[in-house]
């Protein structure tokens, strides 16, 4: 399979799936090694960027997803009923930052950092799909551990949580 055929196959895979697809899954579908599969997707991603297309490909945690180009949001909005985006209040943003930087984290840990109850904020962030349960802490009471989701990465434009800005403790 030549690179342009691979790019076309990658395009079809990403379009059909509609969600992020791992490089491993793409390589299995293309019957090639992961390095070749990633190169094909990266080449396709670059072509979309260079041609200023309405569709783009984003990378999230060694996976790729096809999505609309945010530059055309107003055009899309005019033709589709776009639900109002939920606003992130300062309280939600602060709670989200604690979770993002300390994950996996319990509500009690969040409350110790913030100094106030985190119940409502965590529930809202789960409802918005930015945070999810990541397991339970192996102590008495088995409190829920929370962490960020792929939606969090998409929403804020990070490839992975390793790309979060460093905290300056000054």
End position of a domain, from candidates 17, 51, 76: 76
End position of a domain, from candidates 76, 101, 123: 76
Residue 170 lies in a domain: no
Mean pLDDT value across the chain: 89
Residue 85 lies in a domain: no
Domain with 142 in it: what CATH number?
1.10.10.10
Residue 81 lies in a domain: no
Residue 112 lies in a domain: yes
Which pLDDT band, with edges at 50, 70 and 90, does 34 fall under?
A: very high
Q: What is the pLDDT of residue 145?
A: 95
Lowest mean pLDDT among 21-35, 75-89, 95-109: 75-89
Q: Which residues of 6-40 are buried (b: 16+ CB within 10 A; e: fewer)?
A: bbebbbebbeeeeebbebebbbeebebebebbbbb
Q: What is the pLDDT of residue 140?
A: 87
d(CA 98, CA 147): 10
Domain that holds residue 116: 90-163
Residue 39 lies in a domain: yes
Q: What is the pLDDT of residue 73?
A: 86
Query: Rounded mean pLDDT of 43-60?
Result: 92
The larger pLDDT score, comparing residue 170 to residue 125, is at 125
d(CA 102, CA 115): 16
Query: Rounded mean pLDDT of 84-110?
Result: 89
Structure confidence by residue, pLDDT tens digits, 60-95: 988 999 999 989 888 887 787 655 567 889 999 999
Structure tokens at 60: 């999230």
Say whether both 10 and 65 belong to one domain: yes
d(CA 120, CA 70): 30
63, β-bridge pairs: 22, 60
Please state the pTM of the whole predicted model. 0.59
What's the structural domain count of the chain?
A: 2
d(CA 87, CA 110): 21
Q: What is the pLDDT of residue 1?
A: 56
Residue 137 lies in a domain: yes
Residue 30 lies in a domain: yes
Residue 117 lies in a domain: yes
Q: What is the pLDDT of residue 4?
A: 81
Say whether both 102 and 58 belong to one domain: no
Q: What is the pLDDT of residue 27?
A: 95
Say whether both 114 and 156 belong to one domain: yes
Which pLDDT band, with edges at 50, 70 and 90, does 157 fall under?
A: confident
End position of a domain, from candidates 76, 98, 116: 76
Cite the DSSP H helix spans in the chain: 3-17, 23-30, 34-50, 73-79, 90-102, 107-114, 119-127, 150-156
Angle of the 3-17 helix axis to the 34-50 helix axis, nearest 10: 80
Structure tokens at 147: 């962490």
């Amino acid at each position: 399979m030549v690179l342009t055929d691979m790019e076309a196959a990658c395009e079809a895979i990403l379009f059909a799936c509609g969600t992020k697809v791992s490089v491993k899954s793409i390589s299995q579908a293309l019957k090639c090694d992961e390095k070749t599969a990633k190169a094909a997707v990266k080449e396709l991603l670059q072509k979309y960027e260079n041609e200023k297309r309405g569709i783009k490909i984003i990378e999230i945690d060694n996976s790729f997803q096809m999505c609309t180009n945010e530059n055309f949001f107003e055009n899309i909005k005019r033709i589709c009923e776009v639900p109002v985006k939920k606003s992130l209040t300062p309280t939600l943003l602060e709670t989200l930052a604690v979770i993002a930087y300390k994950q996996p984290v319990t509500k009690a840990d969040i409350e110790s950092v913030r100094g106030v109850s985190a119940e409502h904020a965590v529930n809202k962030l789960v409802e918005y799909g930015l945070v999810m349960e990541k397991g339970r802490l192996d102590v008495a009471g088995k409190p829920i551990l929370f962490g960020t989701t792929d939606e969090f990465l998409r929403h804020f434009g990070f490839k992975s949580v390793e790309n979060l800005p460093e905290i300056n403790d000054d």
